[in-house]
Structure 1
Amino acid sequence: MEMQLSMVVLEVRDVTRSVEFYRTLGLAMPDPRTDRPVSILRMSSGVSLVLTEDFASTNDPTWSRPTGGYQQLMEFFAGEDAEVDAMWEKLTAAGYEGRMAPTQTQGPYAAMVDDPDGNVVLLTSDEPARISNKDNA
């Protein structure tokens, strides 16, 4: 069996606040579950985004929340450069921390915004990130 990426799990401080951010980004995040603080969205790519307040802290007694920097980027394909610009404006106007304004990098046209927990969201018009691209299938 081929190994597949199934989900990205983010350990967040406030699942409701994180749901609001990812909805502003354009994802159809469901309301958190009533029986525990988690929201799960299965995207058309087949990968699920999981926002949870207590998975790591409950299941790994050695876990501690990182205190600085970031360890990953989550890239979201926004389409055209103008859509990257528009999403940057929308998120920063909503009060989310902009890390890198839209710019042409050595690779894609991109912008970076922090979610409420400091996870870095990379917005790009990078064609290889398009789900329908046959090279990514």
Structure 2
Amino acid sequence: MAPRFDLIGIAVTDMARSLDFYRRLGLDIPAEADSEAHVEVTLPGGLRLAWDDVAMIRTFHPHWTAPTGSPRTGLAFRCADPAEVDRTWAELTGAGFHGELPPWDAFWGQRYAVLHDPDGNGVDLYAPLDAG
């Protein structure tokens, strides 16, 4: 049997702030998770998304350091339509989260925007321009 892709892990410096960001994107994360060192949710289709605070990571990887520079990977959230891209962007940036690239109509046929989660990870929002 070949390995099966199962989980995306994110290192965080402030669990509650990170989970707030992802809740605003529609993920069902219980409020009591804010004080945990490790949190994970199962997404539709079975893939899991997990968050580990830096102190937890250092319990098994004592020399871990945060990467520097621009992120090389990102997460993308499909929105129902272009207006939802704009609404979600406005909600998250209005709540103080970093907006990297404001919504635009991309040449490949999508309304697109890029945010950063509290730890600088790229999170894209998109919807087909012809979402009707």
Same fold, judged at TM 0.5 (above):
yes
Measure how far apart 1:21 and its partner are.
0.9
Q: Secondary structure in 1 aligned to 2:33?
A: coil
Measure how far apart 1:62 and its partner are.
4.0
Residue 125 of structure 1 is matched in structure 2 by 127
Return the alpha-carbon distance in structure 2 between the equivalents of residues 41 and 52 of structure 1: 12
The structure in which a higher percent of residues are strand is 2
Residue 23 of structure 1 is matched in structure 2 by 23
Return the alpha-carbon distance in structure 2 between the equivalents of residues 84 and 25 of structure 1: 11
Measure how far apart 1:57 and its partner are.
2.6
Measure how far apart 1:101 and its partner are.
0.7
Number of aligned residues: 126
Question: Residues 111-132 of structure 1, C-alpha deviation per residue, up to 9 Å, x if partnerless?
Answer: 11111111111011159xxxxx
Stretches of structure 1 that go unaligned for 5 or more consecutive residues are 128-137
Residue 69 of structure 2 is matched in structure 1 by 68
CA contact 1:96–1:114 (8 Å) conserved in 2 = yes
Return the alpha-carbon distance in structure 2 between the equivalents of residues 95 and 84 of structure 1: 17
CA contact 1:19–1:39 (8 Å) conserved in 2 = no
> TM-score scaled to structure 2, two decimals?
0.83
Q: Percent identity?
A: 32
CA contact 2:16–2:34 (8 Å) conserved in 1 = no
CA contact 1:72–1:120 (8 Å) conserved in 2 = yes
Stretches of structure 2 that go unaligned for 5 or more consecutive residues are none
Cα RMSD over matched residues? 2.1
> TM-score scaled to structure 1, two decimals?
0.81
Return the alpha-carbon distance in structure 2 between the equivalents of residues 33 and 93 of structure 1: 21
- Map 1:2-17 → 2, pairs under 5 A: 2-17=2-17
